[in-house]
Amino acid sequence: MNVLSNLAVRDIETLVHPYTNLATFRDTGPLVIERARGVYVYDTDGKDYIEGMAGLWCTALGYGNEELVEAAAAQMRKLSFAHLFTGRSHDPAIELAEKLKEIAPVPVSKVFFCSSGSEANDTQMKLVWYMNNALGRPRKKKIVSRQRAYHGVTVAAASLTGLPANHADFDVPIAGVIHTDCPHYYRNAIDGESEEDFATRLAQQLEGLILREDPDTVAAFIAEPVMGAGGVIVPPVTYFEKIAQVCEKYDLLMIADEVITGFGRLGRMFGCEVVGYRPHTISIAKALSSAYLPIAGVLVPQRMYDALVDESRKIGAFGHGFTYSGHPVAAAVALKTLEIFARDCIVDKAAALMPQFRAGLNRLEQHPLVGEARGLGLVGGIELVADKRTKRPFDPKLGVAMRCVAAAQAEGLIVRALIGDTISLCPPLIISAQELELLFERLGRALDRTLAWAKSDRLVD
């Protein structure tokens, strides 16, 4: 019998936990993390865990970085809060916007700040609508997202998200959001189809969707360079090149959701640089402050900014923004984060670990439970299957991936279960070679535990 601690009981009686089966959780209770340092977190019993998900794809510089702590404290002492409404400003927001324009992979006119990836992608939708109204195109409003995409959970962002659990009984997606096919070669390619041919077919499907909807009503296409919560889906060769041709043909604004892939995760500062995606506008969040404080943003192109100015002149104000847009403490921490990235060559050091990370994925792919171990940079997805040869999945109701997550936790590793019985990996970028090897050892033992359970329940031969 699971005897819950006093702290666990208090948790159950006070909190609603995101992405949790709230019914079964009442019996199991929480894993309460008390402290953290580097790539390790520690529970209330003092047990250590490698944080194999960098929190939620975000704590790039690991835990307990004193420079970030001091940056926050110093800014709090100097200016604890200021807003950007009605023309007010402050040094940290100005300097951070300048730095982001400097490092952006595409031309950027201005930066709009907010506090989360969901807010950034909601803003993207509103700015697309606003821009097309300014351009005299009031019908050109639909946004194309993709099946299994993840763009957030606010009403508009959840509509862009292409995951059934994010839509069921929330009455989303809202009108004006449409979804095209997921670029998952392992699951969706036709037998004998090359990656390039698969990419061609996906581009043709996108064009067909646009034509069915009427190109004069379709405004934008949004995509993660590598899909995160949808299963760590790496785009097939030439995918973004061919998608871009379709978007250009029908004048669709291309939005890159770099909330997970931005700031070094794929081996360059921005993920779009790695996969051949050249968007017009970019959403950023998570690793921008190494998740020490909430901050996010939209990198706004000149064409869009010109429309904002025109509409502001007509209406009298740009009627969008958040209390915490460009919060000075969060902006100061983000500035220090980018300084550390540059000074300590964080992206280069992470890139140097990528062959080892890929080799670890390749080893796991040999495991009897693993159908595909995919990834790019320092993000990976391990898809568990009932039959490697036929790619037959487990019944989702069995919760095989969740069983593996629990086994990993017992081994001292935190990973996450995603749609399609996929286990995701996204370690802090500061992880050492030795720590990375230990991560894969612990995950390997977790897979062995899961296999033993699956055999005992006769789920596999």
* Tokens linked to 41: 């977190």
Are 241 and 179 in a shared domain?
Answer: yes
Are 175 and 315 in a shared domain?
Answer: yes
- Measure the CA angle with vertex 111, ends 108 and 115; round to 5°: 140
Q: pTM for this one?
A: 0.96
Are 230 and 156 in a shared domain?
Answer: yes
Domain end: 343, 359, 393, which one? 343
Task: Tell me whether residue 10 is in a domain.
Answer: no
Amino acid 451 reads: L
pLDDT 10s digits, 258-298: 999 999 999 999 999 999 999 999 999 999 999 999 999 99
Are 326 and 425 in a shared domain?
Answer: no
What's residue 3's pLDDT? 64
Are 412 and 446 in a shared domain?
Answer: yes
CA gap 125, 439 in Å, rounded: 38
Q: What is the mean pLDDT of residues 116-129?
A: 98
What's residue 363's pLDDT? 98
Are 112 and 45 in a shared domain?
Answer: no
CB 370 within 8 A of CB 388: yes
Task: Tell me whether residue 5 is in a domain.
Answer: no
Q: Domain residues for 193?
A: 67-343
What's residue 345's pLDDT? 98
CATH of the domain at 210: 3.40.640.10
CA gap 183, 398 in Å, rounded: 26
pLDDT 10s digits, 383-419: 999 999 999 999 999 999 999 999 999 999 999 999 9
Domain end: 291, 310, 343, which one? 343
- Model confidence band, residue 461 (pLDDT cutoffs 50, 70, 90): confident
Task: Tell me whether residue 190 is in a domain.
Answer: yes
CA gap 69, 378 in Å, rounded: 25
pLDDT 10s digits, 308-364: 999 999 999 999 999 999 999 999 999 999 999 999 999 999 999 999 999 999 999
* Tokens linked to 250: 């029908």
CA gap 73, 163 in Å, rounded: 39
Task: Tell me whether residue 24 is in a domain.
Answer: no
Task: Tell me whether residue 13 is in a domain.
Answer: no
Beta-bridge mates of residue 33: 43
Are 327 and 249 in a shared domain?
Answer: yes
Task: Please tell me the total count of domains within the chain.
Answer: 2
CA gap 298, 285 in Å, rounded: 9
Domain end: 289, 316, 343, which one? 343
Task: Tell me whether residue 253 is in a domain.
Answer: yes
